Structure 1
Amino acid sequence: MIEVVNPTTEEVIGTVRAGTVGEVDAAVGRAVAAFPAWAATPVEDRVDAVRRIADGLAARADELAATMVAEMGTTSAFATKVQVPNPIAIARAVADVVAGGYFDGERVGHSLVLREPVGVVAAITPWNFPLQQMVAKVVPALVAGDTVVLKPSELAPLTADLLAEVVTAAGVPHGVFGLVHGTGPVVGEALAAHPMVDMVSFTGSTRAGRRVAALAAETVKRVALELGGKSANVVLDDADLGRAVKIGVANAFMNNGQACSAWTRLLVPADRHDEAVELAAAAAAKHVPGDPALPTTRLGPAVSAAQRDRVVGYIRQGVAEGARLAHGGPDAPTDRGFHVAPTVFGGVTADMTIAREEIFGPVLSVLPYSDEDDAVRIANATVYGLGGAVFSADEERALAVAKRMRTGQVDINGAAFNTSAPFGGYRQSGNGREFGRFGLDEFTEVKSIQR
């Protein structure tokens, strides 16, 4: 059995069965058997099933939010405003795309080009946005006519159980959706390597993504990877510095700093570096670690003791390499729970470890730049390319800089997240896209018929 630990209280709050290779094989077998009938199900019926899933999630919103607060430490406010509403919006948007004629086909000369289901999909999902990442894979796969075997993170498995109940209640036939709990080295690798799985959609670390891709390559599976990030928030010299820093700190610390697309590098003009560090430290001081179940708490714990220790190790590394600690530090801010102090470093250079590697905790690095070209150079000086931001008084200038950034998403002046726009990264942040029409493309094959 796998014990589920509340990262705030450090108490065991549940258990799930650790799946075996044999159970993976059985789940894949059921998915293979169920595929022909599900793929042949009228598109309208699949759309209706997905809409029932979205409605089911909405009906259990409070329970889903409370479960995520308890098992992975996201704050109550973030759970109710983001962790639950986003997946519902993602599901409804995908249903709308399909209902709008996605599978009708298009003419290309004398060819009819069609979209068809890819087959059996293995969905391997993370703990930081458990419901969102499960829905972003399971829902487009189901509406496309694929069958799915889901392996959620063993750190946040209880949310997956609730999703499974919602999918069953929505009338999805037996075998079309399967859930196997377990660890990555056992269940995850068995799914990635399984000869009857046609596609693997994985979200997690870049290291684990490389392993998934290598295993899947043995049977030439389709692979979609959403991996790590080290996103830059570029504040141009004409921007409202106070506003940009305030929004930037909130983004860097969202979900307790455990977000792959968080803007963890704040790039500011060199002559305003010290002012920016001071503003960032003041903003970070308002993110007081506490009980995430309380509605006023802005910063909860790391998901586990191991994750806390990893983040603290990076903070110590930053100090050792000469970055200036402006707020926070490695010391535990609470007596109980896997909390990390919200931390701001100034005087960071692009070659420092804290500026190059994904930390996945509430740690912000402030880097000075000399001019706009230097800012773009620093922003792109990473193996990642998932998210980013630009702040400027001139939106066209900001857009020009955004176009030069080698990353999958860029937000200008704090623009809101869009659950219908494509989400995914460049380089070692992965390949493929999620959400809306672009996400749906990943779960379909393209066929051309000439006549």
Structure 2
Amino acid sequence: MEMNAGKLALPETVREFGFFVDGKWIAAGNRRVIERNSPAHDVPVTRITRCTVDDLNQAVRVARDAFNDRRWSGLSGADRATVLLRAAEGIRARAEELALLETLESGKGISQSRGEVLGAASIYEYAAGAARALHGETFNNLGDNLIGLVIREPIGVVGLITPWNFPFFILSERVPFILASGCTVVAKPSEVTSATTLVMAEILAEAGLPAGVFNVVTGAGSEIGQAMTEHDDIDMLSFTGSTAVGRRALLASAGNFKKLGLELGGKNPQIVFADADLNEAADGVVFGICFNAGQCCVSGSRLIVEKSVAVEFEKLLADKIARVRVGDPLDPNTQVGAIVTSQQNDTILSYIGRGMAEGARLVCGGGALETEKGQFIRPTVFADVRMDMAVAREEIFGPVLTISTFETFEEAIELANDTVYGLAASIWTKNLDKATSAFRRVQAGRVWVNTTIAGGPETPIGGFKQSGHGRETGIYGVEEYTEVKTVHIALGKRDLWV
């Protein structure tokens, strides 16, 4: 694997994809296709198949057959681990190809894409170990004539719907753990960022994953995604996306009472106490709102700063944001790339307009970056924000930060928890007692202290409140895709009842 250190060139041709079912590629044929333009360059880069519900049904049948005949679930954890380790090798071998596809479709900087692809490979390596570590329990306290076993079994066919903001990394926070549990998969990536999921299907097949265990159908979420949530032969659905769509998935799942794993929206607080290292905290807050152009479910979009240092901290933020490099994602020096779609671009700009209309004070940014091609938004900061403003309450999913102030610890916690969401939070302080009290009381599935958007596959991720339920990654991420079965074994002769 060799990374290109210079600015990359756009590909000369559009890359075309079929879809992947039962271990083989299926050409688009007479099906409609979706052409994806690079959001940074306004040129077509990929073309994917718009699958039909019949295609989905076939993929589910294939996944069901693969599960029932135990070609994967019947293997040992060691054998599954071998395939996952080979998959990690395959990702590393094709890292530059994957990173370029990710950047072309999503608009994120190539350096970020490269980091995410290599990080994804390490997730597969961790999950390989988890496949061997999955275990149950024994109860040897039921008397001499009875022993109890608690065993974990794969839940069955898993439907996986992934979003456009981290198409390869979020896929990799799900798939290796689903496979480690012994389940089979039908995946549907976002229609605007499908390429890397399709390439991953090929990598898994080459790693020795049996045909039919991992299948990919592509197309519109309103059609294929909705059909997955309603499908009676899908045992569990993992969905990552907006809370609004997650709510629809929850209602649709009632048809066969399928289990749901939901990672949804966030309006995540960054609490900065006066005793924090303000320069480091400012750097973390800027990273937290600018990473992936703010199109990140755990983006630190609400700054809650102690009033005594608010003026100083605001100046630090403005200075750092002025030095953030926004531009062509094919340039390795770019820190903030393009906004993924024109619709998302319009949504972010409309929220910036609402912030101004509602009386928030614009500190910096405030609109689009003027370029010949593509869609880019300047990182934007609003101060003097009240909690009744839309920019303070609603998930914007863009590089827009709001600032509110507090005077007491209790007020900081109250502001942090004043949201329907509970996905993530960051706390900045050098006082260990204060940090501990804060992370105990903040309602969020992930809390960072003196850092943000950090960690690895060893620990679980997921949300509180309307940010979803269930947990991914870590050993919890394997257990999420299992059913728990209790077995009682009688020993010796039975005391006859009749």
CA offset at residue 43 of structure 1? 2.2
Report whether the alignment pairs 1:11 with 2:43: yes
Are the structure 2 counterparts of residues 104 and 44 from structure 1 closer, same or farther at C-alpha, using a change threshold of 3 Å?
farther
RMSD: 1.3
What is the aligned counterpart of 1:349 among 374, 379, 386? 386
Corresponding residue of 1:338: 375
What is the aligned counterpart of 1:437 among 475, 484, 492? 475
After the TM superposition, which residues 47-66 of structure 1 pair with which residues of structure 2 at under 5 Å, given as runs? 47-66=81-100
After the TM superposition, which residues 38-437 of structure 1 pair with which residues of structure 2 at under 5 Å, given as runs? 38-81=72-115, 83-100=116-133, 102-103=134-135, 105-107=137-139, 109=141, 110-414=147-451, 416-437=454-475
Q: State how far apart, in whole Å, the 2-side matches of 1:255 and 1:178 are.
A: 28
* 2:289–2:400 CA contact under 8 A, matched in 1: yes
Report whether the alignment pairs 1:20 with 2:57: no
2:260 partner SS: strand
Letter in 1 for 2:82: D
Report whether the alignment pairs 1:30 with 2:62: yes
CA offset at residue 391 of structure 1? 0.8
Q: State how far apart, in whole Å, the 2-side matches of 1:292 and 1:108 are.
A: 59
327-336 vs 302-311, greater mean Cα deviation: 327-336
Letter in 2 for 1:439: G
* 2:109–2:330 CA contact under 8 A, matched in 1: yes
Letter in 2 for 1:220: F
Q: State how far apart, in whole Å, the 2-side matches of 1:228 and 1:221 are.
A: 21
CA offset at residue 370 of structure 1? 1.8
Q: State how far apart, in whole Å, the 2-side matches of 1:138 and 1:184 are.
A: 19
2:228 partner SS: helix
Cα shift readout 1:318-351 (whole Å, capped 9, x = no counterpart): 1111111010112443232111111111111222
CA offset at residue 410 of structure 1? 0.6
1:253 partner SS: helix
CA offset at residue 272 of structure 1? 2.1
Unaligned runs of 5+ residues in structure 1 are: none
2:66 partner SS: helix
2:186 partner SS: strand
Letter in 1 for 2:59: A
Are the structure 2 counterparts of residues 7 and 340 from structure 1 closer, same or farther at C-alpha, using a change threshold of 3 Å?
same
* 2:368–2:375 CA contact under 8 A, matched in 1: no
CA offset at residue 108 of structure 1? 6.6
1:406 partner SS: coil
Are the structure 2 counterparts of residues 331 and 39 from structure 1 closer, same or farther at C-alpha, using a change threshold of 3 Å?
closer
Letter in 2 for 1:408: G
**TM-score, with length taken from structure 2:** 0.88
Q: State how far apart, in whole Å, the 2-side matches of 1:262 and 1:106 are.
A: 42
* 2:325–2:333 CA contact under 8 A, matched in 1: no
* 2:427–2:449 CA contact under 8 A, matched in 1: yes
Which has the larger share of helix? 1
Aligned length, in residue pairs: 449
Corresponding residue of 1:449: 487
CA offset at residue 408 of structure 1? 0.4
2:261 partner SS: strand
CA offset at residue 257 of structure 1? 0.9
Q: State how far apart, in whole Å, the 1-side matches of 2:307 and 2:152 are.
A: 51
* 2:188–2:216 CA contact under 8 A, matched in 1: yes
6-15 vs 89-98, greater mean Cα deviation: 89-98
Cα shift readout 1:224-249 (whole Å, capped 9, x = no counterpart): 00011111010112112222111111
Cα shift readout 1:193-225 (whole Å, capped 9, x = no counterpart): 111100000001111111111111221000000
